[in-house]
Amino acid sequence: MTDLHLGEHISRRFNEELEDVRSKVLHMGGIVEEQLANALKVLVNDEAELARDVMDADAIVNSLEVEIDEECTLIVARRQPAATDLRLIMTVSKTTNELERIGDEAKRVAKMSRKDMDGVLDDDVRADLTHMGDLIREMLRQVLDAFARTDVDTAVSVVKADRKVDKKYKKITKHLIKLMVNDPEAVPAVMKIMWAVRSLERLGDRCQNIAEHIIYMVLGMDVRHIKLDDVLAEIEAQVESE
């Protein structure tokens, strides 16, 4: 964990503004976590009554994104932040955008109904979806914790975890393709499940993106579009040089 010294500005009001936007991001993240949990229950357990909760929460998430972005714009205009402060503001803005998109993907998943998947969502697929959902929920929990504590180690763990999500995505997709080959009449239902699985895979990517933003915020390193092993080596070298 790295201390960004966010409470050491001459202006107390500046400190309060930075803490306020950070708090709002975490509040937004908590709502998105609940959205994701409910969407997975709709998909895997057919708890269709929770779909409305996911839809309702989406409006709150969208509103928070706009509110946080407006605050970030005002802080930049008023304070003209530099160095760590500017990286924080940029990370906050990018993180809220990623969280809003996670909410959108959760809403897509929640729109699935048992009728859409009738006869196709067998026990094997359901078990794999449950496992994939658990992996993504843990990634989201960890990345929000990494943001709250400016913890690079946890952010790196999230980047690593996306490999597991991708592996599970490929396994489920391969199984669903076999179902379509063996039963052409099941193709429409299988395709709907595949779209839901694709949304879940994107959720993992969004969590990874937030983790990369956190690494940038703390270390000033842009690790996007860099292979994981190279990212780890670069972070290790950066930490050792400090």
Please state the domain extents for the chain: 12-241
Share of the chain above pLDDT 90, in %: 63
pLDDT of residue 2: 54
Q: Rounded to an integer, what distance in angstroms lies between the CA atom of residue 217 and that of residue 150?
A: 8
4-8, 66-70, 189-193, 205-209: segment of lowest average pLDDT: 4-8
- For residues 226-242, give the mean pLDDT: 67
134-187 pLDDT, tens per residue? 999 999 999 999 999 999 999 999 999 999 999 999 999 999 999 899 989 888
Q: How confident is the model at residue 114 (pLDDT cuts 50, 70, 90)?
A: low
- Per-residue pLDDT for 56 more than 80? yes
* Torsion on CA atoms 40, 44, 47, 51, rounded to nearest 10: 40
CATH of domain 12-241: 1.20.58.220
Band of residue 104 on the pLDDT scale cut at 50, 70, 90: very high
| Per-position DSSP letters for 205-227, written without gaps between them | HHHHHHHHHHHHHHH----TTS-
Kindly indicate the confidence band of residue 207, based on its pLDDT and cuts at 50, 70 and 90: very high
pTM score of the predicted model: 0.88
- Mean pLDDT calculated for residue range 192-203: 92
pLDDT at 236 over 70: no
